[in-house]
Amino acid sequence: MRTAVYAGSFDPPTNGHLWMVERGLEMFDRLVVAIGDNPNKSYTFSIPERLDLLKRSFPACERLTVTHFDNRYLVDYAVEHDARFILRGIRSQADYEYERMMRHVNYDMAPDITTVFLMPPRDIAEVSSSMVKNLIGPEGWRDTVHRYVPPPVFDALEEKLGE
């Protein structure tokens, strides 16, 4: 069984994340979507809130697991879940440079884990969680943000950050 781990902060989940999950399910027998927790970061949504948003954003699928991890390296987490692949998205040259470096570090730690890179289509290539949060506030933000996130996420953003 080919298992992959797709990890991120997902704060909040975006349509780009959904695209990655859909492609991951096409490519792998099992996909573990894992929320990473960085104690040095400030998050808009708690881990339980992000878990809930992810679960409500994806159609139910027995091959998909949504979970979280903290205080471990992603490759160690992948090994714990019998994953042979790490799925990563590349939106820009900066993403590429960072992901290339991390792929080499991960290989040094776990040479049996293969990193698979995907590039999203142009219409969502620039979408990031940070970008979405930065769009909230000005007049008309709802019409803009609605394009970039799944409906459950939009509702949660409106409730938490909307005025």
- Alpha carbon distance 6, 23 (integer Å): 11
- What's the Cα-to-Cα distance from 11 to each of 3, 63, 68, 80, rounded to whole Å? 24, 23, 13, 24
Distance CA 24, CA 88 (A): 10
From the list 91, 103, 133, 146, the catalytic residue is: 91
CA 108 to each of CA 53, 100, 127, 156: distance values in angstroms, whole numbers, following the listed order: 34, 13, 30, 39
Catalytic residue among 9, 57, 128, 129: 129
Q: Is 160 a catalytic residue?
A: no
* Active-site position among 9, 17, 50, 57: 17
Separation between Cα atoms, residue 160 and residue 163, nearest integer Å: 9
Catalytic (active site) residue 17:
yes
Contact status, residue 50 vs residue 83, Cβ threshold 8 Å: no
Is residue 129 annotated as part of the catalytic site, yes or no?
yes
Tell me, yes or no, if 133 is annotated catalytic.
Answer: no
Residues recognised as catalytic? 17, 41, 91, 129
